Amino acid sequence: MTEQLNMLEAIRSTLRAEMERDDGVIVYGQDVGRNGGVFRATQGLIDDYPGQIYDAPVAESGIVGMGVGLAAHGLTPVPEIQFSGFMHQAFAQIQQHAARLRSRSRGTMNCPMTIRAPSGGGIRALEHHSESFEAGYAHTPGLQIAYPSSPADAKGLLAASIRNPDPVIFLEPTRLYRAVSGEVPEEEHLVPFGEANVVEEGEDITVVAWGAMRRETQRAANNADADVELIDPRTIVPLDEETILDSVRKTGRCVVVHEAPKTAGMAAEITARINDEALMYLEAPVERVTGYDVPFPLYAREEDYLPDPERIRSGIERAVEY
């Protein structure tokens, strides 16, 4: 059985199911209780699980750092950081402690924390509310990163994150929260980490995109003069390299799309892996269609910053016509 849900509803119902399944799952963060979160992802949950959901003071380092302690105590913390732009306030706790608890304790301890945060631009928000820093977390050994692009994946990846014995950065594309609805399995649904979704099959070119960029890429693919194979990795770490490489070996061409800045972004990493493993299959250099190396602009210029179907289509055509 499936039901029609948008991404926020899928996240909410998954949090509910996971709290129901395991009373050690502790959901907390700024405004997540009475207010139900600024995007309403946790709306109503406090009434049913008062001992498992808490409003936290405005203190990101405190929120993540306390999560390390909760995890050490055997609980499963699922903190929400109100916007991923404010995860930097907690970065020391994430990088120095959550990500390394396992290695520092020589494998005797772990940190099964899922840090949820809205990510990415396109909603005319204030400064620091539109960042996408997945490459920074990918550069931090010990972290796994999920970045869903559909309601069903949001459910499957979130449930898998909460049950993951390692810390997960769970980035939710703000722009898609309410913009897309889709069929979501009603029963338990787990999307394993490290398994990309081949969204569309095609022969001419491989395009890799995640989060809100998947939808933009689909729009671009519909108008492009090429048969596009669209791959959504779903988890940035671990990355399903094999699916991407197999596709590139078939098509010989690749575009990687992300809204984060270009320099040292995930597209650079994916390009490098293609160079390592599939160079001889390439018919054209791997194209990157990304944000620019500028601070994410306030919203009067955000549309100019963000890759849109036009830019993505140009990228596809450059690679095809090379």
Partner 1 sequence: MPRERAAEFTIDHVQVLDESGEADEDLVPNLSEEELLDLYRNMKRARRFDTRAIALQRRGEIGTIAPAIGQEAVQVASATALSEADWMVPSFRESAAYLTRGIDPHLLLWYAMGMEEGAEVPEGEHTMPPSIAVGAQTLHGAGLGWGQAITDDDAASLVFFGDGASSEGDAYEAFNMAGVFDAHTVFLCQNNRYAISVPTENQTRAETIAQKAIAGGIDGIQVDGNDVLGTYKVVTEALEQARQGNPILVEALTYRQSMHTTADDPSVYRTPEEEAEWEERDPIDRYEDYLRSEGVLDDETVAEIEEDVETELEAAIERAREGEKEVVPAEMFDHVFDELPQSLRKQRDEFRREEVDHD
Ligand X SMILES: Cc1ncc(C[n+]2csc(CCOP(=O)(O)OP(=O)(O)O)c2C)c(N)n1
Q: Which residues bind ligand X (CB under 6 A)?
A: 30, 58, 60, 82, 86, 89
Which CB sits closer to partner 1, 281 or 299? 299
Which CB sits closer to partner 1, 95 or 110? 95
Residue 72 near residue 43 (C-beta atoms within 8 A):
no
Residue 298 binds to partner 1 (criterion: CB under 8 A): yes
Residue 304 binds to partner 1 (criterion: CB under 8 A): yes
Scan residues 105-164 and list those touching partner 1 (CB under 8 A).
Answer: 124-129
Nearest to 158 by CA among 4, 12, 6: 12
73, 88, 129, 258: the catalytic one is: 129
Residue 299 binds to partner 1 (criterion: CB under 8 A): yes
Q: What SS3 class is residue 53?
A: strand
DSSP characters over 161-189:
HHT-SS-EEEEEEGGGTTT-EEEEESS--
Question: Residue 30 to residues 62, 86, 302: CA-CA distances in angstroms?
Answer: 11, 11, 26
Asked if 97 is an active-site residue, the reply is no
Scan residues 164-223 and list those touching partner 1 (CB under 8 A).
Answer: none
Scan residues 12-51 and list those touching partner 1 (CB under 8 A).
Answer: 30-31, 33-36, 38
In degrees rounded to 5, what are phi and psi of residue 145?
Answer: -135, 120
Which CB sits closer to ligand X, 14 or 93? 93
Q: Which does 181 bind (CB under 5 to 8 A by kind): partner 1, ligand X, none?
A: none
Q: Which does 21 bind (CB under 5 to 8 A by kind): partner 1, ligand X, none?
A: none
d(CA 307, CA 320): 19
Residue 272 binds to partner 1 (criterion: CB under 8 A): no
Which CB sits closer to partner 1, 58 or 272? 58
Residue 320 binds to partner 1 (criterion: CB under 8 A): no
d(CA 50, CA 315): 50
Q: How many residues bind partner 1 (CB under 8 A)?
A: 40
d(CA 8, CA 64): 22
Q: What length does the chain have?
A: 322
> For partner 1, which residue of 263, 272, 276, 322 counts as binding (CB under 8 A)?
263
Residues 6+ apart with CB under 8 A from 209: 149, 216, 217, 230, 231, 232, 256, 257, 258, 312
Nearest to 119 by CA among 143, 85, 95: 85
Which CB sits closer to partner 1, 33 or 156? 33
Q: Which does 188 bind (CB under 5 to 8 A by kind): partner 1, ligand X, none?
A: none
Active site members: 129
- Residue ranges that bind partner 1, judged by CB under 8 A: 30-31, 33-36, 38, 55, 57-62, 85-86, 89, 124-129, 262-263, 292-295, 297-302, 304-305, 310-311, 314
